[in-house]
């Protein structure tokens, strides 16, 4: 099932895109336990959903929506790394295109 969803998303989102995102803050979505809106630079609509059936990182809004599918453990690990960076009063950087190439605490 997950492989089918991945294939559908790859075919749907064929455009090439690349981002470096600096996460400044996490806001828990209303009535959710593990789904967040990320306050970022550049100012994109970014969310990290580690709660739904299909988990991952969403960038943008329709029609320019980009989605990175993640396994539950990958999603929770990324969420914990972001929380650790923010707890240390640092932004968290994500280097990504169709996948997350790297993520780390970023310093100016």
Q: Which residues contact 30 (CB under 8 A, 6 or more apart)?
A: none
Domain definitions of the chain by residue range: 2-106
Give tens-digit pLDDT for 29-79.
999 999 999 999 877 889 999 999 999 999 887 766 788 999 999 999 999
From the centroid of its chain, how far is CA 61?
13
Tokens linked to 98: 């169709």
State the pTM of this model.
0.78
What's residue 11's pLDDT? 47
Q: CB under 8 Å, gap of 24 or more: what pairs does 37-45 form? A: 38/82, 41/91, 44/19
Tell me the pLDDT band of 7, cut-offs 50, 70 and 90.
very low
Tell me the pLDDT band of 2, cut-offs 50, 70 and 90.
low
Can you name the residues that pair with 73 across neighbouring β-strands?
Answer: none
Per cent of the chain over pLDDT 70 is: 81
């Amino acid at each position: 099932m997950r492989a089918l969803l991945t294939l559908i998303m790859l075919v749907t989102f064929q455009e090439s895109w690349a981002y470096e995102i600096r996460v400044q803050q996490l806001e828990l979505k209303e009535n959710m336990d593990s789904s967040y809106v990320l306050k970022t630079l550049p100012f994109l609509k970014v969310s990290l959903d580690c709660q739904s059936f299909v988990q991952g990182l969403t960038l943008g809004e329709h029609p320019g929506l980009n989605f990175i599918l993640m396994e539950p453990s990958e999603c929770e690990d990324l969420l914990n790394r972001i929380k650790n960076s923010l707890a240390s009063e640092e932004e968290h950087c994500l280097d990504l295109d169709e996948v997350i190439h790297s993520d780390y605490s970023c310093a100016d």
